[in-house]
Amino acid sequence: MPNFITFDNLINPLLSSGPGTPHPKWEEMDNRWAVIDDILGGTEHMRLRGRIYIPQEPKEETSAYMSRVNRTFLFPGLKSAIKRQLSKPFSKSVVINPKPNLTGRFDANDWVKDVTGFGVDLTGYLRMWHQSALKYGMSHTLVDMDPIPSVSISAIESRKQIPHLVHISPRDLISWSYDDIGLSEIRFIEHVTIPDPDNVWGKILQDRIKVITRTE
């Protein structure tokens, strides 16, 4: 009998206590978002969730049940619908018109070619943002930028003043806080790649909680 994956198996161990404590509203929505990801994962994903989506009947033999699971296919209607919706607004590249000098320190014409700091242009970033919005009903952007100094800086230092857009999936933004002024803190899961301590050539994926608070 295979080890089927259930929602309980998918709980991130980070989300337990301390900074990883999720907001109650996030917990309420994440179980619903998990269903969306399962559907978009296709047939194999659905089969792995067999106990959730393809329950075994009380008197059904295990061999017959597994045969039924393995011949069950998921129609990719949602994936096709999202793909069609994404193709409409991004059939042409996104441009800034007019193209201003956004901070007085860099040229927007160059910025739109790489808005993340990792070679993703504005069109590619907005497509990714829009795809998340279609999947989950919302999407988030963190603008990462060093404070602008009041004194003149060198050309090398000025490159640090370029804002970088960081996409945060709703499934990763686990908590948020407000005060009398407005949004005061966010906590989200950051997915990073680190060297594998057991393999000098390898890399492993690691999740960690990042906390950002508003500075006055």
Q: Are 125 and 115 in contact (CB under 8 A)?
A: yes
Residues near 204 by beta carbon (within 8 Å), at least 6 away in sequence:
193, 194, 195, 196
Read off the pTM: 0.78
pLDDT computed for residue 74 by the predictor: 92
Q: Which letter does DSSP use for residue 19 in this model? A: G
Q: Which residues pair with 183 in a beta bridge?
A: 178
pLDDT computed for residue 90 by the predictor: 87
What whole-number distance in Å separates Cα of residue 185 and Cα of residue 69? Answer: 45
Q: 3-state SS of the chain: helix, strand, coil percent to 5?
A: 40, 20, 45
What whole-number distance in Å separates Cα of residue 16 and Cα of residue 119? Answer: 35
Question: Which tokens hold the place of 87?
Answer: 């193709």
pLDDT tens for the chain, 216 residues: list them. 444 444 444 456 566 668 888 999 999 999 899 999 999 999 998 888 888 888 899 999 999 999 999 999 999 999 999 999 998 888 888 887 765 555 556 677 788 899 998 999 999 999 999 999 999 999 999 998 766 665 555 554 555 578 899 999 999 999 999 999 999 999 999 988 989 888 989 999 888 889 999 876
Q: Are 34 and 10 in contact (CB under 8 A)?
A: yes
CA 211-216-165 angle, 5° bins: 50
Q: Which letter does DSSP use for residue 76 in this model? A: -
Detail the DSSP E strand segments found in the chain.
Answer: 140-144, 164-168, 173-178, 183-195, 203-213
pLDDT computed for residue 144 by the predictor: 86
CA 190, 196, 201, 202 torsion: positive or negative? negative
pLDDT computed for residue 165 by the predictor: 94
In the chain, count of helices (H) and strands (E)? 8, 5
